[in-house]
Structure 1
Amino acid sequence: MTADRRVPARVGLLALLYGTGGLFCVAGALRPMHPETPVALTGVLAAVGIGGAAALLARGDRLSQAGGHTALAGVSLLVALLASRSVTAVGIVGLGPVLIAIGLYAAHFCSLTAARAHAGLAVGTASLGAAVALPSTAALPWLMTAVSALLLTEAHARLNRALRTDAATDPLTGLANRRSWEAEAGRTLARALRSDEPLTVAVLDLDDFKAVNDRDGHGAGDRLLQQVADHWQSRLRTADLLGRYGGDEFVLRLPATDGPGAQELLQRLDGGPISWSVGTATARAGDSLAALLQRADAELYAGKRQRTAGRTDGVG
């Protein structure tokens, strides 16, 4: 596979889940645990698992989110089918780690709601399948396994959501941080260029912010940044994305907005606790996010230099 077609982790691990299941089925078909073990079915499931892994790897980064959900749900249904044909308590309870693996995968790569749905599907369908062939001695171990899978999924999904939020959020203002803003804005730019819709980005910089820090201290500067962020955020549209780029510099993504529309929207941000300067750039064919930000930044500092020159001429 070439360097520009690397398999994303979400696809690679899903392929690993399929492939590992397939190899276990191969082992089960070659060395059955019981004379009544459904060797033919196990062989078919082995082929499905290994073939599914190969198909996922071939799909790579082209696998959509919906395709990923479908493939993960497919693992749950295959486990349920295998559980319904198991003939020993060990064979059924031995499927528990697969349920946990499904739940942990969903907790890491899906939203909290989707992770709960996948864990519920895996445990629910496998439990129905197990009920068909479940020996009475396996009921309690299976219940413990099913509950453990659900609890581990919930705990891991909650923790992962908190970590994702922390990693994407500026701790002082609660806005998107530089990394998460660039990731979201980059995706929006790609969609805008494909659909030929307008997109404008803005770079905003607070005027004389250093003087506030020097005069009143960094605590006052931090409070000012929080007030500005709250003021701006309350006046933006839901689809707009405001981020803190660093220091007293902010960035703003304005989807479905051309240059004049951006200027009209930016006027809503007036009236805050400090004056500010802004530069904007509207996407053109072939633009990268870096190019957009560079043009907006250049406009911002050109305006600052012009105002500084005007004040100097006025003093003269």
Structure 2
Amino acid sequence: MTADRRVPARVGLLALLYGSGGLFCTAGALWPMHPDTPVALTRALAVVGIGGAAAILARGDRLSPAGGHVALAGVSLLVAFLASQSVTAVGIVGLGPVLIAVGLYAAHFCSLPAARTHAALAVGTASIGAAVSLPRAAALPWVMTAISALLLTEAHARLNNALRTDAATDPLTGLANRRSWEAEAGRSLARALRSKEPLTVAVLDLDDFKVVNDRDGHGAGDRLLQQVAEHWQARLRTADLLGRYGGDEFVLCLPATDGPGAQELLQRLDGGPISWSVGTATARAGDSLAALLQRADAELYAGKRQRTAGPTDGGS
């Protein structure tokens, strides 16, 4: 399979949830655990599981986040229905690992609130289904299974949320780091090109930052970067994406903003603890993020060379 056709992990694992459930139902239909096992229903659920897996894989990276939530909720409802029709306590309690799998999937690929919602839906609906046919003697094992599913989801979701934040954030300034900024700016550019709305990217570079480091030490330089980030972030709009690209260089993505609008917005950033230089580039049809950054960077350093040759009132 080529790189551009590779199935995203969130899609592949969701298909695996459906497919494995379908295979387990197939096994249950072929080798019933009890004479009263609803074999016809188990066969039907096997078809739903395997068919759902095939449909999800066919959708691939076109599966929207909303579609993923619906499909995951579907697993929970199918488990609840299967629990309500089970005829043995072993069969019902044996559904516990599916609840845990749903919770862990949600914890890894969804936000913390969404993961909690999916875990609560899975455990709640399955418990209602189990209550229909669960023998009283098996109530305690089921309660332990349900609580385990909720606790494992919460623990994994919190850990994953912390790791996701650390991976996307510059530890010094708290801004988006280079990798996460490029990912989000790339999505914003794709939306802008589709909707034909303007989008401008700016590259900002602090003037004489090396002098501060050499004169006052790297601690002073770090504090200066933090002050600049706080000053700029407080003056930007909610939709604007500011990131630290490396060293004393920052990048800014301005959705729904043309060239003149970007210059007007950049003027708001004046008044900080150090002067700075900037280059901008507004998206054109067929542009990539790399091309935008290259044009903005070229404008930035052209301005720096011009000031070096003959100082003007430019700068920040």
Counterpart of 1:228 in structure 2 is 228
What whole-Å deviation, never above 9, does each CA across 1:172-191 have from its counterpart, x for those lacking one? 00000000000000000000
Counterpart of 1:87 in structure 2 is 87
Counterpart of 2:153 in structure 1 is 153
Counterpart of 1:42 in structure 2 is 42
- CA distance in 1 between partners of 2:58 and 2:304 (Å): 52
- CA distance in 2 between partners of 1:209 and 1:59 (Å): 50
Residue 2 of structure 1 and its aligned partner are, at CA, apart by 4.4
Partner SS for 2:268? helix
- CA distance in 1 between partners of 2:59 and 2:175 (Å): 35
Q: How does 1:26-41 map to 2 (within 5 A)?
A: 26-41=26-41
Counterpart of 2:98 in structure 1 is 98
User: Residue type matched to 2:268 in 1?
Assistant: R
Q: Does 1:186 align with 2:186?
A: yes
- CA distance in 2 between partners of 1:206 and 1:2 (Å): 42
Counterpart of 1:199 in structure 2 is 199
Partner SS for 1:197? coil
Partner SS for 1:269? coil
Q: Give the RMSD, CA atoms, in angstroms.
A: 0.9
Counterpart of 2:107 in structure 1 is 107
- CA distance in 2 between partners of 1:58 and 1:307 (Å): 56
Partner SS for 2:252? strand
Partner SS for 1:245? strand
User: Residue type matched to 1:164 in 2?
Assistant: R
Counterpart of 1:61 in structure 2 is 61
What whole-Å deviation, never above 9, does each CA across 1:76-114 have from its counterpart, x for those lacking one? 011001000111111100000000000000000011111
TM normalised by structure 1 equals 0.98
User: Residue type matched to 1:12 in 2?
Assistant: G
Partner SS for 2:310? helix
Residue 311 of structure 1 and its aligned partner are, at CA, apart by 4.1
Partner SS for 2:244? strand
User: Residue type matched to 1:171 in 2?
Assistant: P
Structure 2: runs of 5+ lacking an equivalent: none
What percentage of aligned pairs have identical amino acids?
90
What whole-Å deviation, never above 9, does each CA across 1:196-252 have from its counterpart, x for those lacking one? 000000000000000000101101000000000000001101110100000000000
Regions of 4+ moved over 4 Å? none
TM normalised by structure 2 equals 0.98
Q: How many residues align?
A: 312
Counterpart of 1:139 in structure 2 is 139
Residue 3 of structure 1 and its aligned partner are, at CA, apart by 3.6
Q: How does 1:1-316 map to 2 (within 5 A)?
A: 1-311=1-311
Residue 5 of structure 1 and its aligned partner are, at CA, apart by 1.5
